[in-house]
Amino acid sequence: MADRATFSTLVRDRAPAWRRTAYLICGNWAQAEDLTQSVLLRMYLKWPSIDPNGIDAYARVAIARLAVDESRRPHRRREVSSGQLPDRGADYASPDEAMDVRRALTGLPRGQRATLVLRYYAGFSVAETAAALGITEGTVKSQTAKGIAALRERLSAAPAGETEGRGPR
């Protein structure tokens, strides 16, 4: 059984990475902070039964599930995405180009976004992603394929410089 001091140390060290994962899934820094805080509360309450060696996987799975659950709530369905699309994506070398990819992720449906983040950012396998999101492996594959196609389209469609001056949403 792990103690609360260990929990505090792990949270201090790992919370920024979990917040970044949450942002990549939901596309909004404020919502990413809320998701991370909700996961931290759940982890704190269950801490005696959580294996500290698997804490990163536990956090990523919990964040992904909460993000998908949150997207199913009626007030989230009324949100309308707007804004300009980034100019390109692959082989980015600068932080600006990385932001373009992050902005393009925000325009994807949450299911596609969650599978892409877990597969390519968190390094989950298809089976691990399916288990984390509570969906079939076939759904993971189709959502990943659709998400990649949509990202390619978004990143190649916008004229260069059209996304300048915009921060994270």
Low-confidence ranges of the chain (pLDDT < 70): 1-2, 73-98, 158-169
Q: What are 44-66's pLDDT values in tens digits?
A: 888 888 887 888 989 999 999 98
Contact 63, 36 (CB under 8 A): yes
Q: What are 69-94's pLDDT values in tens digits?
A: 877 766 554 455 545 544 333 454 56
pLDDT at position 62: 92
Contact 70, 38 (CB under 8 A): no
pLDDT at position 152: 86
Structure tokens at 56: 């990163």
Q: Is 4-157 CATH 2.30.30.90?
A: no
Q: What residue segments make up the domains of the chain, in order of their start?
A: 4-157
Q: CB-based contacts of 154: which residues, under 8 Å, 6+ apart?
A: 85, 86, 89, 104, 107
pLDDT at position 88: 39
pTM (two decimals) = 0.50
Location of structure tokens 């902005």: 103
Task: Give the HSE-up count for residue 66: Cα atoms under 13 Å, Cβ half-sphere.
Answer: 23
Q: What distances in angstroms separate CA 143 from CA 7, 72, 136, 140, 151, one per listed residue?
A: 34, 17, 11, 5, 12
Instruction: Compute and round to an integer the Cα radius of gyration of the chain.
Output: 17
∠ CA 25-27-28, rounded to 5°: 125
pLDDT at position 166: 40
